[in-house]
A and B are shown apart, each in its own frame.
Chain A
Amino acid sequence: MSLLKIVAGVGGVLLFWATFQLPSGSGDVASRQTLSISEEPDRIVLGWSGPVQEPMSERIAATIDRYKADRRRLVLILNSPGGSIEQGRKVVAAIRARDRAIDTLVQKAGVCASMCVPIFLAGTERMADPEAYFMFHQASLNNSARENMKRQQFSDSETDLFSQAVKAIETQVTDDFFRNDIGIRGVSRVWLARMREKIPGRDIWMSGQQLVDERSGIVDRLIRTPAL
């Protein structure tokens, strides 16, 4: 009986110890997509946090459709590091295809970077906290494509040629991105051209206040956002 108690005790201690040693998987948080819904008397707030990747367009479209008959205003809060251009365009198309006003908002210290910006611009009214952050940069091949290319055995001249080709593609995609995805309703063409010149090789971060001060036309209205 006492031996059984000892074994149970040791087993319990080991089990207790083991629970603390398990990997947590907390590293996935940055790439996790969450869509929260909060119904308020005068509006429905959708909160998106995560990269612009599949299945963002499907989730956003399904959620908007869920409130098809509801006449309250829809507000989409964005917190995203950007992601796939293709998926971002699908999200924009999904928002535009719905015959209703959908406002977009970036909260205080929230981030709308890269491909998130065109989604923000798809809003009927584009609101941001003065301390919201927007980031603009050049389009780039995604990491898996780059890794695939690295694995290939190329000579130096081939590598040079390949790098030039990648650069040319990225430049072309960025021009196209700035012209068709960002250069839309109300966005200043002069400001956009200046931004296009600044971005090669670096990320440009701007606050909501700075975007308004520079008359970029990205943000329609600044609002102080309390916690939602």
Chain B
Amino acid sequence: MTFGKRQPGVGSAAQALNVNMAAAQGHAVTESAAPTGHPIRWLLILLACGAMLYGLVVSYGPDIVRDHRLAGTWQPAYDLRAMEGKCERRNFVITFCSAKIKSVANPGQAPTSHRFMMLFAGGGGEALVPVRSTADRSAVSIFYAAETKLWSRTLSFISAAGILALFSVFALFASWRALNHFE
């Protein structure tokens, strides 16, 4: 194969692809208003988006609300130790972090797990300092999550929830229209 010379096989494949695309475009033009797909498919997408949104809100929402309420009241909890801290960065965009907090004053007490999610920041190499609020002594967190990355977590949460909510609304709308056009 020579660089710059069109090969018949490749050309025909490309052509065929172009033809199909043109056909698809034509189809889209003629039926632009009607959503494609079975209503059940849209309902399943709606359910999946709703479940993901619910999971996101339940998993991360209460901690973010609490951390905003207690912002500025955190102080080091010298009776606690953070362990097994790790952050997993996915596609350089979203990072999921988790750590366990164990009491050194009560070694028999089961460790508590803390998880948080943020966009863009990697979280690598950050010190895990357990903190407790002076306003609510039962509230325990990791300083990096509760104070340093609070706004990053909040924006990440709002962005992720917003996208999922948008998908959910779109899926709801599409399933409604598909149901109306379903014969």
Contacts and interface: CB of A to CB of B under 8 A. Distances in A.
Interface stretch (A19-27, A143-151, A170-178, A183-191): A19-27
Contacts of B149: 24
A127 to B, nearest CB: 15
B104 interface: yes
Interface in A169-228: 203, 205, 207, 225, 227-228
A107 interface: yes
Contacts of B110: none
A17 B120 contact: yes
Given A20-B121, A29-B131, A79 B75 contact: yes
Interface in B123-143: 125-127, 129, 131-138, 143
Interface string A72-109: 00000001110000000000000000000000000111
A80 B129 contact: no
B119 A111 contact: no
Interface residues of B, number: 31
A24 B134 CA distance: 22
Chain B interface secondary structure, helix, strand, loop or mixed? Answer: loop
Interface stretch (B11-19, B32-40, B53-61, B76-84): B76-84
Contact of B76 (A29, A107, A108, A225): A29
Chain A interface secondary structure, helix, strand, loop or mixed? Answer: mixed
Interface residues of A, number: 31
Contacts of B135: 227
B105 interface: yes
Contact of B119 (A20, A27, A207): A20
Contact of B75 (A23, A34, A113, A135): A34
Contacts of A138: none
Given A20-B119, A227-B134, A49 B75 contact: yes
B144 interface: yes
B148 interface: yes
A133 B122 contact: no
A107 B137 contact: yes
Interface of B: 75-79, 104-106, 118-122, 125-127, 129, 131-138, 143-144, 147-149, 152
Given A27-B127, A107-B134, 10 more contacts: A26-B126, A29-B127, A29-B131, A81-B76, A109-B79, A109-B138, A133-B105, A205-B104, A227-B135, A228-B134
15 contacts: A23-B125, A26-B143, A26-B144, A26-B148, A27-B127, A27-B129, A29-B76, A30-B78, A80-B78, A81-B76, A81-B78, A135-B105, A203-B104, A225-B137, A228-B134
